[in-house]
Each structure stands twice: as structure tokens, then as C-alpha cells.
Amino acid sequence: MVPQNRVTVESFSAVFGDEIPAKFSAGTGIKAMYKALPEQTAGDLATAAAESLFGKIKIDRSEIGLMLLVTQSPDYRRPSSASVVQKRLELPVDCSCMEINLGCSGFIYGLQTAMSMLTASDREYGLLLMGETASKLVDPHDKSIVMMYGDAGAAILLKKTDDRSQVTTLLRSDGSRYKAIILPAGGFRDMYPGRERFMCSDGIERSLYDIYMDGTSVFSFSITDVPKALNDYLAYTGTGADDYDAFVFHQANEFIIKQITRKLKLSKEAVPVSLDRYGNTGGISIPLTLCDAYGENGKDVKKVLMCGFGIGLSWGVTGLSIDMENVFPIEETVDYYKEGKITPEML
């Protein structure tokens, strides 16, 4: 699910001139993205994705015993947006709901958490939701990332079966590099710092309320730690590239995807890409890429190796057999929760 607001990289010529957007597209492969409308939140996009899924897969919502929402763009500081989404989706009171604060690795971490919790419960169904509106956290004059982030939501329905085949997941994190991608202001470490702009080490002016990314460090991480984790996963599971039909990686940028593809000696036809039309949508980029590649023509079961990596720094790898008949096309939405904006008279 994406907002009904398509923005092209070319349109940023009005801000940066023609040369900078052209170089950005050439370097990243991104030509367009979808940005949330002013009133839309991550919770709105996740809810719209879930409602769309319920319209395609008939299920009694009272049977859903678990709902996880992965987002770094919550509707409120408190309560968890998962609670608000539970109310909006009319999920039962005995459905456990939780929010996971992770970005580009969020799908892998969220999927592993949901599967583990579902396995340990007596419930049959679980729901993994994702929503992100990172575009609202970027300085509009930051030429390094304002043309990169797209907003989106995703919904994945999980069903516990009698199949005892094990799903293996590799999860890693390195907090020593937490400053590589960071938005310093607004948390309880520094809630209300000044809004003055200052020159960052990359030569771009920002305030503490804007996302900062150390592009060189993140790039190095993406082409060294990530391929190593993928090879470690293959070695641990005793599998090789030939055992998988598709490889779906976080859509960071085109060059990083090409480097990972080259280092693992993969066929580029087996590595679907969506970032050229949707930008970098964080952890949602993995399910979004699956929907983009197979949502309209998937008819069989495919073995898919997936890898998410980014902020934290954190990264993860997992392999699943996915029935592509249950993967649906990407839709657009203008919906938002009108009652969700709290005014003084409501309190």
C-alpha cells in the first residue's frame, strides 16, 4: 500500500536545478517515490494495507491472536500505534498487540518475532503490519536523501500449520554504529533542542530534527557486512543460490543491490527491483518488492531468500517458501484516521 501521491525525482529540479536530481537518479536508480499526504501516518498506511488484505483473504478477525506493527514513524509518542490500529481493525481484545521500532531490517525482525510468538501461543493466526512515513523526517533541502525516501504500508497474514519444517533466520545488530543513521531530536534524550540549522560533516545543512545519514559508512556496511551475513546464512542452512527462486533485498539503492548480487554471483533476473518506482521504503521494501514482482502474475510456490539491513545498525536474513497466489498487487490510498487527531476538547 502506498499513498496516492506520486513524486518524481525530476520534479525536484524546481528546488535543486536539473543537474542534482539527474545525478541522484543515475547514482541510486530511483526515479520516483510515493510520499504520504500531510494528514497520513504510518498507522493509516498499515491499516489500509490490512483492510485490503482482509478483502482478498476471507478470515474471521476474531481468530487473529497476534498483531505486530513495525514502524519508526508512530502516530503518537504514547500510546503504541499498534493499539490504535487494533481498534481501527476491530481485532479482538485477546489479540496481543505490540509495536517494533525498527527500520530497514524491520521486516526480517518482525517476521521472526511474529512467527516465534505465534508458535508459542495457542492461536492459529497472526498479523504482521508495517508502516513508514520517513519522508516527513527529512530536511526538504537535503539533496542526499529527500529524493530517496518513499512511504508505504504492508500487511502479512500468518497461519500456524502442522508443517514442522523449520524457518531459519539470521539476525545481527551493531549498536556501536548507531550514529550512522540518526534523528537526534524529539526523543527523551533531547526533546526540544533548538531548530537552528548547522553544517554536517557531509557538507549539507540540517537541524537536529532531520534524519542524518553517514552515506559512506552505510554504503561500506551494505556491501561488506550484508553479503557476509548472506553467505553465513547459506553456509549455516547448507543451501546455495540454486536452491532459491528469487532474492529480495532491502531496496537501499541500485548500486548496493548490484554489488550484493555480484558478490553472491546471482542472476540479476532472480533479484527483483522496485526502488526505481517506489524509492527506499525502509523495511517495507521487501514485501513491497514481492508485491511489485509477483502481485499480478504469481501462480506458484517460490523459495525466496530475503535480507533487510539498515538503521541501528541492524540486519537479518531469512528464507521462506511463499505461495505467490497470496501475494497481491500494490494499491494506493488517500485514507487517514480523522478521529486520530487529538484536540484539547477531546481530553
287 occurs within a structural domain: yes
Q: Are 84 and 71 in contact (CB under 8 A)?
A: no
342 occurs within a structural domain: no
Burial class (CB within 10 angstroms; exposed 0-12, middle 13-18, buried 19+) of 197: middle
Closest by Cα among 136, 153, 154 to 145: 136
Are residues 145 and 185 both part of a single domain? Answer: no
What 3-state DSSP class applies to 162?
coil
Closest by Cα among 269, 310, 257 to 30: 257
Are residues 245 and 190 both part of a single domain? Answer: yes
Q: How many domains does the chain have?
A: 2
- CA atoms of 9 and 6, how far apart (whole Å): 10
346 occurs within a structural domain: no
Position 318: which residue type? T
What predicted TM-score, i.e. pTM, was given to this entire model? 0.95
- CA atoms of 178 and 312, how far apart (whole Å): 5
- CA atoms of 250 and 299, how far apart (whole Å): 23
Q: Are 182 and 313 in contact (CB under 8 A)?
A: no
Look at residues 163, 185, 201 and tell me which one is the last residue of a structural domain. 163
What 3-state DSSP class applies to 314?
strand
Are residues 151 and 240 both part of a single domain? Answer: no
Q: What is the DSSP string of 23-85?
A: HHHHHH---EEE---TT--HHHHHHHHHHHHHHHS---GGGEEEEEEE-SS-SSSSS-HHHHH
Are residues 156 and 182 both part of a single domain? Answer: no
| pLDDT tens digits in sequence order for the chain, 347 residues long | 999 999 999 999 999 999 999 999 999 999 999 999 999 999 999 999 999 999 999 899 999 999 999 999 999 999 999 999 999 999 999 999 999 999 999 999 999 999 999 999 999 999 999 999 999 999 999 999 999 999 999 999 999 887 766 899 999 999 999 999 999 999 999 999 999 999 998 889 999 999 999 999 999 999 999 999 999 999 999 999 999 999 999 999 999 999 999 999 999 999 999 999 999 999 999 999 999 999 988 789 999 999 999 999 999 999 999 999 999 999 999 999 999 999 898 89
Are residues 110 and 12 both part of a single domain? Answer: yes
186 occurs within a structural domain: yes
- CA atoms of 16 and 146, how far apart (whole Å): 11
344 occurs within a structural domain: no
Are residues 318 and 223 both part of a single domain? Answer: yes
Are residues 91 and 191 both part of a single domain? Answer: no
339 occurs within a structural domain: no
Domain that holds residue 31: 2-163
Look at residues 163, 189, 206 and tell me which one is the last residue of a structural domain. 163
Are residues 175 and 307 both part of a single domain? Answer: yes
Closest by Cα among 126, 133, 109 to 44: 133
Are residues 221 and 246 both part of a single domain? Answer: yes
Look at residues 126, 145, 163 and tell me which one is the last residue of a structural domain. 163
Q: Are 126 and 18 in contact (CB under 8 A)?
A: no
Q: Are 227 and 251 in contact (CB under 8 A)?
A: no
| CATH code for the domain of 96 | 3.40.47.10
Are residues 98 and 141 both part of a single domain? Answer: yes
Q: Are 73 and 103 in contact (CB under 8 A)?
A: no
195 occurs within a structural domain: yes
- CA atoms of 161 and 24, how far apart (whole Å): 46
